């Protein structure tokens, strides 16, 4: 995360000096505007990181800092504890000198709103939901919510129902937009285009599926699934990218023992026609293999080993197949599954059947399109918010 050093350094000095936020040391010097993002849940930090990356994409010196109402020391690299009380809020603003405050989801705090407005900070409310606002405003005096909502320069809601209710509650109609959720959709993994073209030329029209981040314990399952799926397409090629690259040799040995014709990437620059499995034992980005294969099984998800993020493959047009153990990417897997954009399997026995089914081009295309819609939607919202921030910064002379 681009802001981790500054955040950690600031917290470290607070601890070292025994000082609180109200009288703590000045924040690290930053040569550019600071955007303060208020979060209520650590799960929102990934989306904040994506916003940070987008704002810095053009090389502009923009800095994003996040605060959390539910902060703990394990988050010290990526977030600050939210300042509480008038003196601490004022000191925080004086230390970090933010020019824009972005409120995630809701969890409005009148004290911060008041001090931010007094300091002349611009304010955006994003991912706004009625439920998120009701949690913190249910005991407010009549009229307070109307005053609070009127102070936002932009209000971005998840749906039209929320937008209509917020306008009735006091938000200015001209600043309310229905955008959907700002999600943590990372930029697509890169690849060497020359390598991709060379591999595509070597594979030609062969059907392909990929096991990304595969664990050695899955070797038998992958062999069994490949043999089963090969009944539908006898020239089917399995590409395995082990979770640990050095496991590649052992992968190849076990697969040969199972009767498969296997090659190692370190020995053969591209798969040839007799090969049934191609093991990538070199340090290359998965972006290359996601682009090559229209079907990706997320290694580790059947047995609970560390796995890759389903969004990585989905964003590059590869249909994702995975088991139930997708920690820490449950949210992404759930979104894809709810949209009918992925294949959830319950056991190793299901893997071969699932791959066999997805070898039908129309079925794979249907799921890939749905997956692209899911992964691109959140990125579009992040891009829109970044654009609004950049326009506001330009107005402020940055």
pLDDT classification of 203: cutoffs 50, 70, 90: very high
> Helix, strand, or coil here: 221?
helix
If we measure between CA atoms, which residue out of 61, 89, 101, 76 comes closest to residue 11?
A: 76
> Helix, strand, or coil here: 117?
helix
Selected from 1.10.540.10, 3.40.50.2000, 3.40.50.1100, 3.90.79.10, the CATH number assigned to the domain covering 193-376 reads 3.40.50.2000
Beta-sheet pairing, 295-298 with 319-322: parallel
pLDDT classification of 128: cutoffs 50, 70, 90: confident
Res 11: pLDDT? 52
Q: Where in the chain is the domain with CATH 3.40.50.2000?
A: 193-376
Q: Tell me: the pLDDT tens digits for 53-112?
A: 888 876 678 899 999 988 888 888 888 999 989 999 999 999 999 999 999 886 788 889
The predicted model scores a pTM of 0.70
In CATH, what class is 4-186+378-395? alpha beta
Q: Tell me: the pLDDT tens digits for 279-316?
A: 999 988 899 999 999 999 999 999 888 899 999 999 99
Mean pLDDT score of the chain: 86
| Cis preceding linkage at 328, omega within 30 | yes
Q: Where in the chain is the domain with CATH 3.40.50.11720?
A: 4-186+378-395
Half-sphere exposure at residue 48, Cβ-oriented, CA atoms within 13 angstroms: 28
């Amino acid at each position: 995360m681009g802001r981790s050093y500054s955040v950690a350094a600031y917290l470290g000095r607070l601890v070292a000096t025994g000082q609180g936020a109200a009288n703590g040391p000045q924040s690290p010097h930053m040569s550019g505007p600071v955007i303060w993002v208020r979060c209520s849940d650590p799960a929102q930090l990934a989306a904040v990181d994506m916003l940070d990356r987008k704002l810095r994409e053009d090389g502009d010196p923009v800095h994003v800092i996040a605060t959390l109402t539910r902060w703990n020391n394990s988050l010290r690299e990526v977030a600050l504890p939210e300042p509480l009380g008038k003196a601490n809020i004022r000191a925080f603003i004086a230390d970090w000198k933010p020019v824009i405050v972005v409120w995630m989801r809701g969890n409005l705090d009148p004290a911060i709103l008041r001090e931010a407005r007094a300091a002349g900070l611009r304010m955006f409310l994003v991912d706004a939901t009625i439920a998120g606002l009701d949690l913190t405003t249910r005991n407010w005096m009549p009229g307070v919510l109307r005053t609070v909502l009127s102070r936002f320069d932009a209000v971005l809601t998840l749906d039209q129902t929320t937008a209509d209710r917020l306008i009735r509650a006091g938000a200015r109609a001209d600043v309310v937009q229905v955008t959907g959720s700002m999600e943590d959709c990372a930029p697509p993994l890169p690849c060497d285009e020359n390598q991709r073209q060379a591999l595509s030329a070597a594979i030609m029209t062969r059907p392909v599926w990929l096991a990304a981040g595969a664990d050695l314990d899955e070797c038998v399952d992958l062999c069994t699934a490949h043999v089963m799926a090969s009944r539908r397409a006898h020239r089917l090629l399995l590409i395995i990218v082990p979770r640990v690259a050095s496991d590649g040799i052992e992968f190849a040995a076990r697969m040969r023992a199972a009767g498969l014709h296997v090659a190692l990437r370190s020995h053969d620059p591209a798969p040839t026609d007799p090969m049934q499995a191609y093991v990538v034992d070199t340090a290359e980005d998965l972006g290359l293999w996601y682009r090559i294969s229209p079907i990706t099984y997320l290694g580790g998800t059947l047995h609970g080993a560390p796995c890759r993020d389903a969004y990585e493959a989905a964003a590059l047009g590869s249909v994702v197949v995975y088991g139930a153990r997708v920690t820490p990417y449950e949210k992404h897997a759930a979104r894809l599954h709810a949209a009918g954009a992925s294949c959830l399997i319950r056991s190793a026995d299901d893997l071969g059947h699932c791959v066999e089914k997805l070898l039908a081009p129309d079925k794979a295309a249907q799921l890939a399109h749905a997956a692209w819609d899911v992964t691109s939607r959140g990125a579009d919202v992040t891009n829109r918010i970044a654009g609004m921030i950049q326009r506001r910064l330009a107005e402020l002379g940055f």
